[in-house]
Amino acid sequence: MTYEIICAGFGGQGVMLIGELLAYGGMLEGKNVTWFPSYGPEMRGGTANCSVVISDQPVGSPIVSEPDGLIAMNGPSFEKFKGTVKPGGAIVYNSSMIETAPVIPGLKMLPVPTNDIASELGNNKVANMVALGAFIGLTKIITLASAEKALEQVLPERHHKLIPLNVAALEKGMALVK
């Protein structure tokens, strides 16, 4: 089984980080994984994205062009990638910033008001974690425990005091999935 994900949004929304957490989480579960950042002029164009591949087999291309799952944190990235998701795939999108999203037949689509939930938690910066929690809940691609463990490895030591807040955000997001 190979699962390919694109995480996309504005620079500063922490999309690279949630991609890393997915990759690390997959690695901690013994899977083969790759994480690849968007590269080139796009990096300076207001949107940032990364590709993550989680697989039981050796990973081929680290660059994902037809993902199984998409996390879109803003309008431009939703527009850019929504048409690339494979049939049967999943989209988690940030409904705090994407007010109207078309329903795409054959896809599981979950709107998540990530900024609103993050604000409720007292820190707008964890909006990305809310989205990731929802994505994990929707796709079950890694466990919540793996994502939490990955946080310890990905966040630099000096930010470890923020782990409980991040975990709370992950759990809030996950709770949105019935």
Partner 1 sequence: MERVMMKGNEALAEGAIRAGCRFFFGYPITPQNEIPEYMARRMPEVNGVFIQAESEVSAINMVYGAGGAGGRALTSSSSPGISLKQEGISYLAGAQVPCVIVNVARGGPGLGGLTPSQSDYFQATKGGGHGDYHLIVYAPGTGQEMVDLIGLAFDKAEEYRNPVMILTDAIMGQMMEPVILPPIREVTTEKPWATTGKKGRAKPNLINSLGIIGEDLARINIELQEKYRKIETNEIRYEADGTGDADLIVVAYGTTSRVARSAINMLRAEGKKVGLLRPITLWPFPKQILADLAAQGKRFLVVEMSVGQLVEDVILAVNDRAKVDFFGKLNGTVPTVREVYNTINALLQKGGA
| Interacting residues toward partner 1 by CB under 8 A | 2, 20, 23-24, 27, 32-37, 39-40, 57-63, 65-66, 153
CB of 124 to partner 1, least distance (A): 27
Compute the distance between CA of residue 114 and CA of residue 98 in angstroms, rounded to an integer. 11
For residue 41, the minimal CB distance to partner 1 (Å) is: 8
Q: Is the CB of 31 or the CB of 172 nearer to partner 1?
A: 31
Phi-psi region of 85 (alpha: psi -120 to 50; beta: other; left: phi over 0): beta
- Please state whether 30 falls in left (phi above 0), alpha (psi between -120 and 50) or beta: left
Q: Give the nearer residue to partner 1 in terms of CB position, either 15 or 97.
A: 15
- Residue closer to partner 1 (CB basis): 60 or 120: 60
In whole angstroms, the minimum distance from the beta carbon of 85 to partner 1 comes to 14
CA-wise closest residue to 101 among 70, 132, 67, 65: 70
